[in-house]
Amino acid sequence: MIVAIDGPAGSGKSTIAREVAKCLGLRYLDTGAMYRTVTLIALRAGLVPDRIAETAALAAKSDLRFVDRTNDLTRAFIDGEEVTNTIREREVTKAVSPVSADAGVRELLTARQREEGSKGDVVLEGRDTGTVVFPDADVKIYLVASVEERARRRRAQLLRQGVDQSVEELAADIVARDAYDSGRAIAPLRKADDAVEIDTTGMTIRQVIEQVCGLIQAKRVDGARG
């Protein structure tokens, strides 16, 4: 069983994917953390914005490790150094879209994601998991929410990390990132034709989890009958 959950920044992908995986006994792969970690590598090497094309080669030489946590953000490591909080700081958030749009970076991380997904029983989240990484995923979900809702969620997440950023500032960042992710030439953000769209605006986390789990369970039943 492969479940692909896509959607724009702040739509709840990571939280929902992690909780759904936990509820159904599946593995969880945080592809967003992967792209953020590679972006941090690019930033530290001074490759943003003019030498992003060199990022993939540098990242390929780095020891990247990701450790899923049941009730918290995925832990990320570069050559043994934990960068879990650093990859979610504003500098990385602003640079992750252009780095993620690089063909070499996408090729590198798509291969890694497919390798993990091939082991089966996994929930993956991102922007192209259902359109590019796993176009034949068993279940595809596309989460959306209003810009204001996503900005509030992002602010709450940052406050838990000790970072205070205004909702207005975060909303502007989200709008800019939406435009970039949707307009990029390689693996643009879009809803797969066969994905189920869920607008999470005004919904509780529990309500979204129950709806997504219901879709997956229904697919399991259909598969067993088939």
Tens digit of pLDDT for each residue in 123-173? 999 999 999 999 999 999 999 999 999 999 999 988 988 889 999 999 999
Say whether pLDDT at 54 is over 90: yes
Residue 222: pLDDT band (50, 70, 90) is confident
Tell me, what's the pLDDT at 139?
A: 97
Per-residue confidence at 101, pLDDT binned at 50, 70, 90? very high
- Which pTM value belongs to this model? 0.90
Q: Which secondary structure element, helix H or strand E, spans residue 178, and what is its range?
A: helix 167-183
Q: What is the pLDDT of residue 226?
A: 62
- State yes or no: pLDDT of 70 exceeds 80: no
Mean of pLDDT values over 101-109? 97
- The pLDDT of 16-44, averaged and rounded, is 95
What is the share, in percent, of the chain residues with pLDDT greater than 90?
Answer: 88
CA dist 218 and 138 (Å) reads 11
Average pLDDT over residues 39-67: 98
Say how far apart CA 90 and CA 39 lie, in whole Å: 12
Secondary structure of residue 67 in the 3-state scheme: strand
The pLDDT of residue 142? 98
User: At 73, is the pLDDT very low, low, confident or very high (cuts 50, 70, 90)?
Assistant: confident
Q: State how far the alpha carbon of 6 is from the alpha carbons of 18, 86, 137, in Å.
A: 13, 23, 12
Residue 51's pLDDT band (boundaries 50, 70, 90)? very high
Spatial distance between the Cα atoms of 60 and 81, rounded to a whole number of angstroms: 16
> Once rounded to an integer, what is the mean pLDDT over residues 20-33?
94
| CATH number 3.40.50.300 is the correct assignment for the domain at 2-220 | yes
> What pLDDT, on the 0 to 100 scale, is given for residue 65?
96
Calpha distance 17→30 (Å, rounded): 8
**Is 191 within 8 Å of 142 (Cβ atoms)?**
yes
Question: ∠51-57-62 over CA atoms, to 5°?
Answer: 115
Mean pLDDT of the chain: 94
